């Protein structure tokens, strides 16, 4: 009930909306806002007595519309296409650029994320303390091949893996359940190797560098694909 009251209190009259927009768009008028409503570009709520009430999202939408008209001289027909794309969670169309989600997994996974980082050497005790894992859990996790110490030391990659594993353990997932992740990662690594080995062994002077760059790009794409498939499956289950 409190949320509903707060939502109602945040609604604005058309005059209040005009006051908010005037500083950035001096030429805007109440008639202009009503016209945009009549064209279906903005749909404010109506009170029982018929007065318009605008939510913060309506004001943001009006700013977007007026900005496109002022800065890009776009006709309402094109602006409607932009708004339709945004309403469907897509990037507004621009020229030959195809529609795509406003926030996508591949925009969050970059090839540079797979660049070699500065070497880190952590003892088992340091690793457990930093990742919040006890030594028994570390032994079990290492037994399933998720991390692997070398000469008693662990790398920064081991820390990242262990931190993620620790977070999953908090949900009641056991280390043995995570073997599938390791198997999937090994298969992806094998696929990357198939692609980059001929590049690295080529006689080109920059073959090794190009192989490394290609590996990072494929790795980023594979992670994006994996995340997209998992997200799609979870969304299907949650419906």
CATH code, residues 113-238: 1.10.1660.10
Residue spans of beta strands (DSSP E) within 33-165: 45-46, 52-53, 122-123, 153-154
Q: Is 101 helix (H, G, I), strand (E, B) or coil?
A: strand
CATH code, residues 2-102: 1.10.1660.10
DSSP codes of every residue in 111-143: GGGGSPPPP--EEHHHHHHHHT--HHHHHHHHH
Alpha carbons 121 and 21: distance in angstroms, whole number: 57
Confidence band of 107 (pLDDT split at 50, 70, 90): low
pLDDT over 80 (residue 239): no
Closest CA to 124 of 144, 161, 149, 157: 149
Alpha carbons 128 and 135: distance in angstroms, whole number: 6
| 151 φ, ψ (degrees, to nearest 5) | 55, 40
127-179 per-position pLDDT tens digit: 888 888 889 989 999 998 999 888 888 988 898 899 899 889 888 888 889 98
The model's pTM is 0.58
10-35 per-position pLDDT tens digit: 899 999 999 999 999 999 999 999 99
Q: Do domains 2-102 and 113-238 have the same CATH topology?
A: yes
Instruction: Enter the tokens of residue 183.
Output: 């198997």
- 217 in Cβ contact with 209 (< 8 Å): no
Domain boundaries, the chain: 2-102, 113-238
- What is the structure's pLDDT at 41? 95
Task: Collect all residues with Cβ–Cβ distance below 8 Å to 36 and sequence separation of at least 6.
Answer: 42, 62, 65
């Amino acid at each position: 009930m409190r949320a509903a009251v707060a939502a109602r209190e945040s609604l604005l009259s058309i005059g209040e909306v005009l006051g908010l927009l005037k500083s950035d768009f001096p030429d805007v008028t109440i008639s202009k806002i009503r016209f945009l409503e009549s064209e279906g570009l903005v749909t404010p709520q109506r009170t029982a007595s018929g007065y318009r009430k605008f939510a913060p999202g309506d004001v943001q939408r009006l700013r977007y519309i007026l900005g496109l008209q002022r800065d890009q001289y776009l006709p309402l027909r094109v602006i409607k296409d932009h708004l339709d794309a945004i309403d469907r969670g897509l990037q507004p169309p621009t020229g030959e650029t195809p529609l795509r989600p406003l926030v996508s997994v591949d925009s969050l996974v970059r090839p540079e994320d797979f660049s070699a980082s500065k070497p880190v050497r952590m003892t088992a005790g340091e690793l457990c303390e930093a990742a919040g894992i006890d030594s028994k859990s570390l032994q079990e996790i290492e037994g399933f091949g998720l991390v692997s110490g070398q000469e008693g030391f662990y790398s920064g990659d081991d820390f990242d893996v262990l931190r993620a594993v620790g977070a999953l353990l908090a949900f009641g997932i056991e280390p043995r359940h995570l073997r599938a992740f390791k198997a999937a990662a090994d298969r992806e690594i094998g696929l990357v190797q198939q692609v980059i080995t001929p590049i690295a062994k080529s006689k080109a002077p920059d073959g090794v560098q190009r192989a490394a760059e290609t590996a990072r790009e494929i790795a980023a794409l594979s992670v994006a694909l994996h995340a997209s498939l998992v997200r799609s499956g979870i969304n299907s289950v949650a419906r």
